[in-house]
C-alpha cells in the first residue's frame, strides 16, 4: 500500500469556492490585462498603418461617424471605435488604460471574467450609440468618435458601486473614497456638457459618451442586471437543426469542463455579489454537478 493511498495522504474535498479560486489562479492573464493589451496593440498597429495621422484609413474604416446611426451596414463601428485612440495625445490612451488597470481588476474579480467582458463590450456599444445621438442632436455631423472612455467610465462607476469606501489616489496624489471619485466623474461631465465649448456643439456633446457609460453602469448595478444571455455559445442556429440531428456527437470532456467552469465562475460571482440565497434551483444544481465532476476527475488521476 503506497503512501498516496493512505487516508491521511489524500486531498480533502474542496468547496466550490476553493475550486473557483484554484481554477482562477491557473489563468495566466486577467481579462483586464487582455483588454489593455488589445487596446495598446491596436494603437501601435493603427499608428504604423496611418503613419501617426488620426484621420487615416484605420479611423475611416473603424471609427464611429455620426452618420453610422442611419447606416445599419456600419453598425459594427459601435464596437470597433472603442479600441481606437487619438494620436494627438498619448494621454488619451494612457489615462484610459491606467484607470482600467487600477479599477478593472477588482471589478473583474467581483463579476467574473466573462460577465466582466460582456459588461465592458456592451458599455462600449451603449456609449457609442448615445454619443453619436448626442452629436447628431447637437448638430455636429462631421465627427468621428474614437476611444474607450465610455467603457472605462462605466468600469469606474461600477467599481464605486461595489467598493464605495475604497480609497483611491486621485491623480496619483489625493486620496478619495471611490464614491467621491464617481461623483466627481459624473458631476464634471454633466457640468462640461452644459457649458458651451470653444468650438460649439462638437466638444460639448463629447461628454455624452462618458455620461452614457456612467448611466449604463448605474442601471446595471441597481437593476441587478446580468448579461449572461449574451453568451453566443448558447444560441442555436435553426438552419442547422437537421444537420445536428444526424451528426455524430463527439464527447470532449475537457471542452465540457471548460464550459461548466465559466458557468460556475458566474454563479460564484453572483454568490459573492448577492449571497447564496439568491441562487436559483438550476444554479444550485449546476454548482453541485461541477463540484461532483471535479471530485471524480481528481479520483481518476
pLDDT in tens, 65-120: 999 999 999 999 999 999 999 887 788 899 999 999 999 999 999 998 999 999 99
Q: Three-class SS of residue 238?
A: helix
* The dihedral formed by the CA atoms of 191, 195, 197 and 200, expressed in degrees to the nearest 10: 120
pTM of the model: 0.71
Q: What is the DSSP string of 275-301?
A: -GGG--HHHHHHHHHHHHHHHHHHHH-
Cα–Cα distance, 211 to 209 (Å, whole number): 6
Rounded Cα gap, residues 141 and 221, in angstroms = 33
Comparing 94 with 138, the larger pLDDT belongs to 94
- Kindly indicate whether the domain formed by 18-230 is annotated with CATH number 1.20.1540.10: yes
For 280, counting Cβ atoms within 10 Å of its Cβ (0-12 exposed, 13-18 middle, 19+ buried), the class is exposed
Q: What is the pLDDT of residue 187?
A: 93
Residue 30 has a CB neighbour count (10 Å cut-off) of: 17
- Whether the per-residue pLDDT at 200 is higher than 70: the answer is no
Q: Taking all residues of the chain, what is their mean pLDDT, rounded to a whole number?
A: 80
Burial of 27 (0-12, 13-18, 19+ CB in 10 A): exposed
Q: Is pLDDT at 215 greater than 50 in this prediction?
A: yes
The rounded distance, in Å, linking the Cα atoms of 269 and 17 is 10
Three cell numbers written together for 246: 444526424
For residue range 238-283, list pLDDT tens digits in order.
Answer: 554 444 454 444 445 556 666 777 777 888 877 776 667 667 777 7
Q: What angle do CA 113, 115, 120 make, to 5 degrees?
A: 95
Q: Among 39-43, 150-154, 270-274, which is the least confidently predicted range?
A: 270-274
Choice between 202 and 62, residue whose per-residue pLDDT is larger: 62
- The structural domains of the chain, with segments of one domain joined by +, span 18-230, 236-300
Q: How confident is the model at residue 10 (pLDDT cuts 50, 70, 90)?
A: very low
Longest dimension (CA), the chain: 83
Average pLDDT over residues 216-244: 74
Residue listed under C-alpha cell 471530485: 295
133 touches 208 (CB < 8 A): yes
Amino acid at each position: 500500500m503506497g503512501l498516496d493511498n493512505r487516508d491521511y495522504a489524500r486531498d480533502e474535498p474542496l468547496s466550490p469556492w476553493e475550486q473557483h479560486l484554484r481554477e482562477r489562479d491557473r489563468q495566466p492573464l486577467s481579462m483586464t490585462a487582455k483588454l489593455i493589451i488589445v487596446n495598446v496593440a491596436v494603437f501601435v498597429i493603427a499608428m504604423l498603418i496611418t503613419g501617426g495621422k488620426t484621420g487615416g484609413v484605420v479611423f475611416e474604416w473603424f471609427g464611429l461617424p455620426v452618420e453610422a446611426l442611419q447606416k445599419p451596414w456600419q453598425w459594427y463601428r459601435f464596437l470597433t471605435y472603442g479600441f481606437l485612440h487619438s494620436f494627438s495625445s498619448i494621454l488619451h490612451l494612457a489615462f484610459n488604460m491606467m484607470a482600467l488597470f487600477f479599477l478593472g481588476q477588482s471589478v473583474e474579480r467581483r463579476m467574473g471574467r466573462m460577465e466582466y467582458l460582456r459588461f465592458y463590450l456592451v458599455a462600449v456599444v451603449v456609449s457609442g450609440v448615445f454619443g453619436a445621438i448626442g452629436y447628431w442632436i447637437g448638430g455636429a455631423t462631421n465627427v468621428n468618435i474614437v476611444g474607450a472612455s465610455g467603457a472605462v467610465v462605466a468600469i469606474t462607476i461600477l467599481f464605486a458601486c461595489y467598493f464605495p469606501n475604497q480609497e483611491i489616489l486621485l491623480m496619483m496624489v489625493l486620496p478619495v473614497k471611490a464614491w467621491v471619485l464617481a461623483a466627481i466623474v459624473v458631476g464634471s461631465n454633466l457640468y462640461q456638457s452644459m457649458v458651451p465649448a470653444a468650438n460649439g456643439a462638437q466638444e460639448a456633446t463629447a461628454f455624452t459618451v462618458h455620461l452614457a457609460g456612467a448611466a449604463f453602469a448605474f442601471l446595471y448595478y441597481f437593476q441587478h442586471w446580468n448579461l449572461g444571455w449574451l453568451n453566443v455559445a448558447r444560441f442555436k442556429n435553426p438552419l442547422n437543426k437537421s444537420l445536428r440531428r444526424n451528426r455524430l456527437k463527439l464527447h470532449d470532456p475537457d471542452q465540457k469542463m471548460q464550459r461548466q467552469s465559466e458557468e460556475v465562475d458566474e454563479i460564484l460571482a453572483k454568490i459573492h455579489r448577492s449571497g447564496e440565497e439568491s441562487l436559483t434551483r438550476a444554479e444550485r444544481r449546476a454548482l453541485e454537478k461541477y463540484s461532483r465532476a471535479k471530485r471524480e476527475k481528481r479520483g481518476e488521476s
